[in-house]
Amino acid sequence: MVYFIGWTLNIFVMMGLMISVGMVVDNGIVVLENIYHKRNEGVSARKASIWGASEVGLAIIMATLTSIAVFVPMLLMEDGGGGLTFYLQRIGLPVIFSLAASLFVALVMIPLATTKLAGGQVARENKLITHSKAYYQKSLQFALSHRLDVVLIVVGILGLMMILSQHIAQSDSMEGNISDIRLMFDLPNHFSEEEAFNFFKEVEDTVNVKSEEYGVKAIDTGFRQGFGRVRVYLEPPQKQQWYHVIYGSICNLLGIERDLRMTREEVLADLKKRVPKKPGVEFRTSWRGGQSEEGTVSIMLYGDDTNKLAELAEELERRMRLIDGVVSVETDRQSGNDEIKISMNREVVTRNGINPNQVAYTLMYAVRGLDLPRFQAEDKEIEMRIQLQEEDRENLNQLKNMTFTSVSGA
């Protein structure tokens, strides 16, 4: 099929074939079992093949068509040239062809093979199958005669599964970065470079003391004015066999200590206790507004009175710290930057022919600056940036004295 329609045997075609592998044998099994049942009743091989296939023919045709109907929409989808149709067709069409071929084999080839290849005598049933049938009959009789007991057993098993599922370790958005830990620090503005260097040296020493227990592979430290971070790279977690996991669970249940490397969660909890504390230094283990396990809750306060909002934020922070399970609480006012909001008089701007976009971009280039393409010198590249000199942007009055060119050039 793949050859005649000009396709290649790629990963998506193989995916469709893998999906169909478990479906193509169903029709043949049903037909062959019914033919075998007829033979056990003493019917001849020819009549058993005809009657056995015809009795279940309509049922397996309808069952196959319902399976095909699931994959037909994949061939009719249009994604506007985005490429999704290409992949869906490579998955759906092999399944459809496989199911159609299995239906043909079940209704034509298997009855023919049973008349030509089967012997004149009916083979005895395997002992394992006989014992399995007997065990199934006894189990079914017990279930029908003890319906309440069976229902209670099933409910108990489902309840036990729900309880056990609560103790299964679940991954979060940080699991994709499972082999490292980020320690972030908000530094006070009066911190000098030497003080910051000494502080982060203490943090590194704190990590190195237990480097073997933590499984530390490397430490990356960086800091600037007002902020610093320490990134601890851990060795990849060791893959354990299922019996190791069971053994570890039993040891933990009995309180037996094992000489194993700490997990990432254990390392993180231990570092939160051991990281050195400095007055004015705020410590956290997630980016503000991040989606890790420590930054999943955000509370926004709105209002016109900034001072009142600051008081409410301080009180909210105090109350949040009293809640059990809260690791750290940060407020935006602790790291907020000074902000200047500029609004233009629409009548004055229109009367003088000044473009508001020109004002916005000029202020942005002057105050914040703009990175330019690097200048290629003879032996190196030089970074270029356009910005007013620092003495020309020290206060708000200098910003108010800036002039702008109108559309007429005035």
% of the chain at pLDDT higher than 90: 19
Better-scored residue on pLDDT, 90 or 153: 153
pLDDT tens string 216-268: 889 999 888 888 889 999 887 666 666 777 777 787 777 776 656 787 888 88
Domain ranges of the chain: 11-123, 176-296, 301-334, 346-400
Asked if residue 295 has pLDDT above 70, the reply is no
Tokens standing for residue 278: 């400095």
* DSSP codes, 114-171: HHHHS-SSPPPPPHHHHHHHHHHHHHHHHHHHSHHHHHHHHHHHHHHHHHHHTTS---
% of the chain at pLDDT higher than 70: 84
Residue that is written with structure tokens 């009055």 in the block: 397
The DSSP bridge partners found for residue 375 are 382
> Cα-Cα-Cα-Cα dihedral of 368, 370, 376, 382, to 10°?
10
CATH T-level fold of 176-296: Alpha-Beta Plaits (3.30.70)
Asked if residue 155 has pLDDT above 90, the reply is yes
Contact 234, 267 (CB under 8 A): yes
With a CB cutoff of 8 Å and minimum separation 6, the contacts of 129 are none
Mean pLDDT lowest among 115-124, 126-135, 156-165, 196-205: 115-124
Average pLDDT over residues 188-199: 85
Q: CA–CA separation, 162 vs 156, rounded Å?
A: 10
Better-scored residue on pLDDT, 78 or 127: 127
CATH architecture of 11-123: Up-down Bundle (1.20)
Phi, psi of 183 (to 5 degrees): -110, 120
Residue that is written with structure tokens 């590194």 in the block: 204
Mean pLDDT of the chain: 81
Contact 85, 105 (CB under 8 A): no
Asked if residue 271 has pLDDT above 50, the reply is yes
pLDDT tens string 398-407: 777 887 777 7
Q: What spatial distance separates the first Cα and last Cα of the chain, rounded to whole Å? A: 75
Q: Which whole-number Å values give the CA distances from 314 to 226, 305, 339, 399, in the listed order? A: 20, 14, 21, 33
Buried b (16+ CB within 10 A) or exposed e, 278-310: beebbbbbbeeebeeebbeeeeeeeeeeeeeee
pLDDT category at 144 given cuts 50, 70, 90 is very high
